[in-house]
Structure 1
Amino acid sequence: MQVNETLSEGLKHEFQISIPAAEIDAKVNERLAGMKDKVRLNGFRPGKVPVAHLKKVYGKSVAAETLEETIRETNQKIFTDRGFRLANEAKVTMPTDQAEIEGILDGKKDLTYSVAIEVVPPIMLADFKTFKVEKLVADVTDAEVDDAIKRIADQNRPYSPKGEGAKAENGDRVTLAFKGTIDGEAFEGGSGENIPLVLGSNSFIPGFEDQLTGIGVGETRVVKVPFPKNYGAAHLAGKDAEFETTATLIEAPQDATIDDEFAKTLGVESLDKLKEAMRERLTQEYAGATRQKLKRELLDRLDETHKFDPPESLVNDEFDLMWKSIHAEMESAGKTFADEDTTEDEAKTEYRKIADRRVRLGLVLSEIGDKNKITVTDDEVSRAVIERARQMPGREKEVWDYYRSNPGAVAQLRAPIFEDKVVDFILELAEVSEKKVSREELFKEEDDKAAA
């Protein structure tokens, strides 16, 4: 066997490999000999079929299998001997001339093929004991608990009918009957009776609620609105519609009394118990925000201390996924790059930087995990599946069956578990200082485009 490296540019390598016909033929004969005791052919006793006859009957199919196995083993040896860690699947280029292919399968011609690969560069890991990160924490105050309960009360506040002759105002609940048409024709889903709508809630398509301000009980108005271009029903998206709308009831919101009785309407025995439950929920919410901030800071430190050129193919794949998602989101929202105060070229440059960061951090996290034998157990994945199932009451079996029969979905569950375990490993070595902050500072929004 001869191996010649024909390309070595950065992380890209190509090889031309030549395997003698005699070597391949010997492997084919060996496989055929192993078939003697298994094959049953008319006219031959079990185990007595000559290899030459087997070769006539099965030669080409066995040769094809042998070639596939030989190429796989040869490539693996080339990569292992050179210490290569492949970034993606090797690209093998085989002969295309039919006569040459027949000669190789018949054992009369040497096999010559090429293989192109891109490798992961060696990664020198930083000393994580030198990392200094700040952990932002916020205490849940009594006022924040009260505010959260008030928001719930506002969402569940009662309404009472307004007096005779009253007109609907923003915040009022109007009960409607309407019939919708497009070009004079009624359409499916365009009519309704006894439909409650809180003006200002933006529950209906844009522009609908605005035209009902000042309507009175028994009054009918023709509301003219266009369906959004990204409307879920494709046959309605972007079309102009008219709704003959009548108000049958107008109610004004009332202040909700926050007491034990209110708590009981939420399934809690008392206001004190409701406050306890709300404090616990907010505490978990704050802890989640603390974790995300800390993780972001740690990833930023990993980014700063691990600068190298990642495999171009991986960056391209990551960028393509992001770019397709961005285009889909913008199309759905009916936005352009100009709306985002940028151009397509500028956006591509920015998102390619993000793709580069994501790939580098993914490789660094993987290297840390490999070097420190950090793994994700089947039990951890099972717990994650169970948690997903709990989030979909009544569909637990459907969720479980989906993950059981979909390895790709399981891998998507495994990845964040692995990432979190690596992050925890680094945090155990790093110097972590704690800083008390307000809720506002903890939840202050930051540019999340670079999130890994």
Structure 2
Amino acid sequence: MKFKEEKLTEKGLGKWTVTIDGAEWTNTLKKAENRAKTELEIPGFRKGKAPESEVKKHLTQANIYKTAYRIAIKPAFDFAWEQKPTIEPMSSPAPNPVKIDTKELVIDFTFDLKPEIKIGKYTNITTVEKPKNDVTEEEINDVITRYQDRFVMEKIREKNEKIQKGDSVLFDFKGFIDDVAFKGGELKNHKLVIGSKEFIPGFEDSMIGLGIGEAKIKVTFPQGYNEELQGKEAIFELNVHEITQRILPAADDELVKDLNLPDIKTIADFKKKIKNDILTQKQTQTKQQFVGEIIDEIIKDSVIEFPKSAIEHQIKELKKDFEDQVIRKGLTLKDYKKATGLTDEMIEAEISEDAKLNLQTYLVRNEIKNKENITPTPEQIDQKYVELAKNFGVEEDYVKQILPAEQVSKELEAELLTNFLFDNNGKA
């Protein structure tokens, strides 16, 4: 027998080719002919009991080749394994006869390739700038306002009074672009707190100073709002029904006392906690974004191959997620394509690209984890349980009951890997 192997990289497949020829193939054909004779079904005779003259009439070369192939498959497969191939299969190799005649049998065994990665540089990458985070007074005050809302007092303004920042307004509105009403631009009896930033920039500010009754305001939709409206100027016809003054308690020590927060006694303590919470949240978000950009750089510097089946499976999952998201928006796929102008081919291409990136990211993270031996210690897992219990305000034993150690370990492993990539990369 002869053996050779080949990677069909574009298809994500590997191939072993076994050739049986010479005396070995001649003997296999003789054995196949004898077996085929015994297996031949001839009308009027029991299997294997027909006279030679009848056997010759019914036995074809195709029968012999088919039987010879069945005989040869297992020895050919065993021979391939004995050669210790460098291309290892991820799935069971599937045999396929590519040539069979009196001189030789050639069998291809094809299979999905095992994921392979030759990872490039993954530390001291300086093409991505390290994020810097700060917290503004406005952000702190926005959080305090949400707490003040718990104790808000409301008083309906007189009919001659005007809208002020912080007021709650009950009104109807209808939007027009070039004198044509646009879809989704109309609501009746909508309640809006002026300054809540619920509406697009400029909308709420334009309402300040208006009174009860009808009015018009002009605003411009921001870039990135949606493809149909972004950057366009719109006129909104308003009908204000009611203006309510919202009286918030002072942001002082008395408010903190009413909130009854653990370990917080003064408004200064409260502001410090809020600042730390916002900063922690920002750091988590920017760290994830930074590490994502670092992984993109690592992918560019790596050689990554994965099996066809893996990419197909990932595409299938992403396509289902995409269709579910469209349905949750109350649209059919047909409506979505019409609204966005996307075609099936464009959607398929985007999903395929996302699937490829997901697999590349997984393989890169896994390779770094293995190279750096990033594995949580029992002490780190225990500490994580303590943190989770504190965050949720429950007993540690309860957290251990609902979250298996294996799950906590995996989450902690991902966290440690993210920290490693963050600490060892980036331009300061």
Q: Residue 404 of structure 1 aligns to which amino acid in structure 2?
A: P
Q: CA deviation at 1:419?
A: 4.0
Q: Are positions 1:433 and 2:421 aligned together?
A: no
Q: Structure 1's 285 and 422: CA in aligned 2 closer, same or farther, altered over 3 A?
A: closer
Displacement of 1:14: 5.1
Q: Distance in 1 between matches of 2:112 and 2:343?
A: 34
What's the CA shift string for 1:264-293, capped at 9, x where partnerless? Answer: 122242212211211221221232233123
- 2:257 is the alignment partner of 1:264: yes
Q: Does 1:344 align with 2:379?
A: no
Would you say the 8 A contact 1:159–1:173 is kept in 2?
Answer: no
Matched, 1:91 2:86: no
Instruction: Name 1:313's counterpart in structure 2.
Output: 309
1:280 alignment counterpart: 276
Q: Matches of 1:423 and 1:402 in 2, distance apart?
A: 25
Q: Secondary structure at the match of 1:348?
A: helix
- Give the % identical residues: 15
Partner residue, 1:38: none
The aligned runs of 1:233-272 (5 Å cut-off) are 252-267=245-260, 268-272=264-268
Structure 2, unmatched stretches of 5+, are 19-73, 96-108, 171-188, 194-211, 213-242
**Deviation readout 1:284-336 (Å, 9 max, x if unpaired):** 12322331232132122113222544332222222222221111111011132
Residue 199 in structure 1 maps to residue 194 in structure 2: no
**Cα distance in 2, alignment partners of residues 199 and 14 from structure 1:** 66
* Distance of aligned partners of 1:311 and 1:381 in 2 relative to their CA distance in 1, 3 Å threshold: farther
Across the aligned residues of Structure 1 and Structure 2, the Cα RMSD in angstroms comes to 4.7
Q: 1:148 aligns with which of 140, 143, 146?
A: 143
Distance 1:160 1:420, change over 3 A: closer
Q: Evaluate the alpha carbon distance shift between residue 419 and residue 151 of structure 1 in structure 2; reply closer, same or farther with a 3 A threshold.
A: same
Query: Normalising by the residue count of structure 2, what TM-score does the alignment of the two structures yield?
Result: 0.52
Aligned to 1:445: none
Q: In structure 1, how many angstroms separate the alpha carbons of the residues matched to 2:291 and 2:138?
A: 28
CA distance, structure 2, for counterparts of residue 296 and residue 132 of structure 1: 13
CA distance in 2, matches of 1:91, 1:402: 38
CA distance in 1, matches of 2:400, 2:2: 48
Asked whether the equivalents of residues 124 and 424 of structure 2 are also in contact (C-alpha less than 8 Å), the reply is yes
Q: CA deviation at 1:260?
A: 1.4
Q: Tell me how far 1:257 sits from its aligned partner.
A: 1.7
Instruction: State the partner residue of 1:418.
Output: 413
Deviation of 1:365 after TM superposition, in Å, equals 2.1
Code of the aligned partner of 2:152: P
Q: CA deviation at 1:396?
A: 7.0
Cα 1:124–1:156 shift into 2, 3 Å:
closer
Q: For residues 402 and 93 of structure 1, what CA distance do their matches in structure 2 show?
A: 43
Q: Secondary structure at the match of 2:248?
A: coil
Are the counterparts in 2 of residues 173 and 253 from structure 1 also a CA contact under 8 Å?
A: no
Aligned to 2:290: 294
CA distance change for structure 1 residues 161 and 133 in 2, over 3 Å: closer, same or farther? closer
> In structure 2, how many angstroms separate the alpha carbons of the residues matched to 1:298 and 1:160?
50
User: Is the 8 Å Cα contact of residues 290 and 422 (structure 2) preserved in structure 1?
Assistant: no
Question: Aligned pair in 2 of structure 1 residues 395, 346: CA closer, same or farther (>3 Å)?
Answer: farther
Q: Partner letter of residue 316 of structure 1?
A: E
Distance 1:272-1:402 versus aligned 2 partners, 3 A rule? closer
CA 1:272–1:128: 2 relative to 1, 3 Å:
closer
**Alignment match, 2:361:** 361
Provide the rounded CA distance (Å) in 2 between the counterparts of 1:320 and 1:396. 39
Further displaced range: 4-13 or 316-325: 4-13
Cα distance in 1 between the residues matched to 2:130 and 2:355: 27
| Shift in alpha-carbon separation, 1:128–1:142, aligned structure 2, 3 A | same
Structure 1, 309-318 or 326-335: larger mean CA deviation: 309-318
Q: Look up the equivalent residue of 2:191 and give its one-letter code.
A: L
Match of 2:31 in 1: none
Whether 1:9 aligns to 2:1 is: no
| CA distance in 2: counterparts of 1:422 and 1:253, whole angstroms | 48
**Letter aligned with residue 366 of structure 2:** S
Contact kept in structure 1, 2:295 and 2:364, CA below 8 Å: no
Contact 2:13–2:110, Cα closer than 8 Å, also in 1: no
SS of residue in 2 equivalent to 1:253: strand
2:123 aligned partner: 128
Counterpart AA for 2:416: K
Q: How many residues align?
A: 285
For residues 143-164 of structure 1, give each alpha carbon's deviation from its aligned partner in whole angstroms, at most 9, with x where no partner exists: 44334323432x3242245489
Residue 137 of structure 1 corresponds to: 132
Q: Name the structure 2 match of 1:194.
A: none
Partner of 1:370: 370
| CA–CA separation in structure 1 for the residues paired with 2:340 and 2:87 | 42
Residue equivalent to 1:158? 152
Conservation of the 8 A alpha-carbon contact between 1:12 and 1:118: yes
After TM superposition, give the deviation of residue 353 of structure 1 in Å: 0.7
User: 1: CA distance between counterparts of 2:322 and 2:311?
Assistant: 16
The alpha carbon displacement at 1:129 in A equals 3.5
Q: Confirm or deny: 8 A CA contact 2:385 2:396 kept in the other structure.
A: no
Q: Distance in 2 between matches of 1:131 and 1:395?
A: 43
TM-superposed CA distance for 1:383, in Å, is 4.8
CA change 1:323–1:401 in 2 (3 A) is: farther
Q: How far, CA to CA, are the matches of 2:88 and 2:344 in structure 1?
A: 35
CA shift in 2, pair 1:401/1:147, >3 Å: closer
Given that residues 79 and 85 in structure 1 are in contact (C-alpha distance below 8 angstroms), is that contact kept between their aligned partners in structure 2? no
- Does the CA-based 8 Å contact 2:87-2:113 persist in structure 1? no
Q: Is the 8 A contact 2:112 2:308 kept in 1?
A: no
User: Which residues in structure 2 correspond to 1:383-394 (within 5 Å)?
Assistant: 383-384=383-384, 387=387
Structure label with greater radius of gyration? 2
**1:219-254, Cα deviation, whole Å (9 max, x unpaired):** xxxxxxxxxxxxxxxxxxxxxxxxxxxxxxx97522
Cα drift, residue 173 of structure 1 = 9.8
